[in-house]
Amino acid sequence: MATVIVALGGSLLRPELDERHTWLESLIGIVRDRVAVGDRLGLVVGGGAAAREGIALARPLIDSEDRLDRIGIAATRLNAAIVREGLADAGIPVSGTIPRSVNEAAELLEGRQVVVMGGTRPGHTTDAVAIRLAVAAGAERCVIATNVAKVHDSDPRSNPDAEAHDRLTHAQLQEIVGPPEHSRAGPSQVVDPVGVDAARRAGMPLCILDGRDTERIREAIEGREFGGTVVA
């Protein structure tokens, strides 16, 4: 029995792919299996395409990153609703509401085995929410399910020689993602630097992996080798 928090990058709910339904189904299957053995799971869902779209539409009209962040948060809560309703429909004991703060989520997790949430307030992304929830709930680890296999020392899309890391310390990861600041609403680093700072202060282990392959998410929840980057 373990308590694990999983940040599900919104890009995993890719609108362009038919397989996203299969992906959601297998995610629900993993949650069902882990609930059956007594785990507690917090799922924090990112905004993905809905956040990108909403922020892009509003940016020319709105001159405030906090306001744009709030549009991103609305998108994360939409995606969280999709995941929450899917789990509830599958008969999984998931909390009835989508909490608006980390403290509220940690309290709900005491009474329910599964809690699903999105973002909370401006100034960070759902990675940071997941890491703070992991700390507040006394979780064993925080899984960051994104769309790259491992953390690289520079962006592998622009640098073909970028080196992939199997293991990093929190300080090394902070060095890679940069100082804990949230400068702009919308697309960001492989892991939110604000979240990395929170993980470093609390000594919270992070498992960063390619969530498109749901088996990796299962392995990381179970504390097994998962083929991504371990930060400890």
Binding mask 12-51 for ligand UTP (x = CB under 6 A): ----------------------------------xxx--x
Length of the chain: 232
- What's the DSSP call for residue 224? S
Residue closest to 164 by CA, chosen among 176, 174, 150, 178: 150
C-alpha separations of 122 from 74, 101, 142 in Å: 11, 12, 21
Q: Does 180 bind ligand UTP (CB under 6 A)?
A: no
Asked whether position 142 contacts ligand UTP by CB under 6 A, the answer is no
Is 187 a residue that touches ligand UTP (CB under 6 A)? Answer: yes
User: Using the rule CB under 6 A, is 76 a contact of ligand UTP?
Assistant: yes
Q: Is 177 helix (H, G, I), strand (E, B) or coil?
A: helix
Please tell me what DSSP assigns to residue 153.
S
Q: Which is nearer to ligand UTP, 125 or 229 (CB)?
A: 125
The answer to whether 99 contacts ligand UTP (rule: CB under 6 A) is: no
Contact between 88 and 137 under an 8 Å Cβ cutoff? The reply is no
Identify residues 48-67 at the interface with ligand UTP (CB under 6 A).
48, 51
Pick the binder of ligand UTP from 188, 202, 213, 227 (CB under 6 A).
188
Residue whose token pair is 């779209």: 53
Please give the Cα distance from 109 to 94 (Å, whole number). 9
* Closest separation in Å from C-beta 96 to ligand UTP: 21
Q: Could you list the residues that contact ligand UTP (CB under 6 A)?
A: 9-11, 46-48, 51, 69, 72-73, 76, 119-122, 124-126, 129, 185-188
